[in-house]
Structure 1
Amino acid sequence: MSSKILLQKIFYKALKNVQAKTIIQKNIAIDENLLHIADQNIPLKSFKNLYIFSVGKAGYDMAKEAEHILGSYIKGGVSVSLKNKKLSYIKTCQSSHPKVSAKSFKCATQMIKELKKLTSDDLFIFFLSGGASAMIEKPIDNLSLEEFQKISDALLVSGVDIKALNTVRKSISAIKGGKLAKVCKAQGYVLVLSDVIGDDLKTIGSAPMLDKRFPHYIIGNNTIALEGAKNYIKNYVEKTKILTTSLDTNSKKGAKYICSEIEKYDKLYDSFCLLIGGETILEVKGDGVGGRNSELALRLLMSKCVTKDISILCAGSDGVDGNSSANGAFVEYELLNKSKKKKLDPKRYLKTNDSATFFQKLGSGFITGLTGTNVMDFVIILKQTKRE
């Protein structure tokens, strides 16, 4: 099996563990008398109507799977996502990401309207996933859409991490930081697909429903994803290890850390798979095409820690890498020679934030399309060929 094919298989095994079908089936069930939500068993007679709300990159898929399980028990709700698709029992609203737009305001207005309809006798399940911060938004009083967009857009290219980004977003939002929860009188549960390091509930989606009345449950995260990858690949290599699920630094330091780990394990094992989760921080200075995964991949290629036996895949779990159509890139030993033959200078592509174009020209871009989930990024390092 080629390294590219095996790297892809590992990626998709990680992805499967945090896709909507998997995590919703594990956390939602219903029988004649009880509704099962995470570790809670709720008598059906204890509430009048059941509503489903969802927002984020996994918003549509999570709501759709809930419909498969709960069917006509659902009396309404709203699902906000990037998809322009309908559901049977739940209203849908297509929004935008990563930039806040008029669609974000429209979907937020619809979400608020439907939440306000619920009474204290009703019950809701709210699915929250990454991307929610941009997909539903209502600015504080006296702040216009244009002003809000300018602030939000500046933050996106500033190089600040997600926690700092969402802190500022909360301060200028009328729904973030638990403010959306205040419009709802019903009882409810929030099931969370985490896209932040440490699963900080104050940060995920900018915490629109964070309120002591509504219990929050992490039902999917980077660790759960990489455990799925580890269980798959452990039978193919001598050593498998999740190095960290908290990679949180710029791409230059991230590449240095990864190379040091590769060198360490390369001396000890004939074959291995090292798994890393998290997100590197990308500061946009050029006008090229790419994102944090392709830039990290380019830095790893330039670091020359990839040997003939070692290959790497850097990819986002959501299927998106910056402003490119790719999700990330493969790093293989022969790429440097290929780039020299094609007269492609990696330093120039790095300087102009054009890393995705570099890998695309070498046929090493990784394209998945939207995955319907989001648990940060994966770095998969594979040493496959045994020493003689």
Structure 2
Amino acid sequence: MLLLEKRQQVGFPVRCAEAVGHDGLVEELGDDGILFPDGPEGDLSQPYRAAHLHGGITVSPGGNRAHVKKKGAGWVLERKLFDLHLAERAAGAGAELRVKTQALAAERSGSLWRIKVRRSGREETVESPVLVGADGVEGLVGRWTGLSRHLSPADVHAGAQVLAVGLPAWVEDDAVYFFLGSRVAPGGYAWLFPKGRGTANVGLGIPGAERSKTAQAYLRDFLSANFPKISVLEEVHGCVPTPPPPRGFVGEGCMLAGDAARQVDPFSGAGINWAVEAGRLAGEAAVEVIGSGAEPTARALKIYEKRWRERHEREHRQLYKIKTLVTSLTDDEIDQAVAALAAGSAKGELGEVSPLRIIGYAMKNAPGLVLKLRHLL
């Protein structure tokens, strides 16, 4: 197996908010003795994890706050170290990793893919029976293989984020914050994800169809209004695909995974757990097919797509409906929904905490919003 990384360092630059849910990460990596040397609930001083999360706080346009508590809800990671760890594990399992190696083009030749690459200023060609594109939302492999499809502006979110220090005293270090409203991030949301040592990722995402201001401009205004005394250590920009469930991400001898395959939570834009799992499923499919002596045809490799859809297609469709519903709400309706959620959380009525449960509860208990809930159901 050959892994190609166009940059000179794995995991850099980071274009990610770095928060990850507990269940998905533990399911994929919970038995990893390096990432979790004391078990997934063990010593939090490990460098891959910046903060352990026990809940989330949603702030409405009018200032209503709903604090939903869930012990061990997830972590904020250090993606530079997390990605480096995954690369080390892959190399330890026998994969060859080449940094500063950019894929320039790929074409099918018989039963092989011929990939033209530039490495240290010199062009060469490598051949492989299977090509996996894990090259992100702007990935080229999907274009070369004909698997990528055009995204509408409404189904891609532009994001901007800073790593901030000097946070106000009201910021809790074990909770993520979500800020909603048309003045903050129309059609999206702003976030604050604590990273310990008085730092946090603070950013926002808005639909690509938003034309009044850029994500960077919205972020500048948000920071000025809410965090005027912070200092900025880093600033990053990027985009996240948030379309309906992907139509197809397997072809003749090729597969897409992660953002390249649009395997992202379309409601929150979260993608770490989804990408780690997709990479594993794609790798297992390739090993099974080639190990059996069969040709890695599209039909044979469909086991990857079948397994992913069995696990996530229904969930993805529900999350897309949630996204569509929430982005249709007015600021007044968001205020009502967050107030209802705050009351329910205080009474302990939420039960199992999940996006569908939280949104469903808020809408059902907010006056005048019940009719909109029927679209979600």
Q: Answer whether TM exceeds 0.5 for this pair.
A: no
Instruction: Flag the structure with higher helix content.
Output: 1
Instruction: Flag the structure with higher strand content.
Output: 2
Query: TM-score if structure 2 supplies the norm length?
Result: 0.26
* Larger relative contact order (Cα-Cα within 8 Å, sequence gap ≥ 6): 2
Query: TM-score if structure 1 supplies the norm length?
Result: 0.26
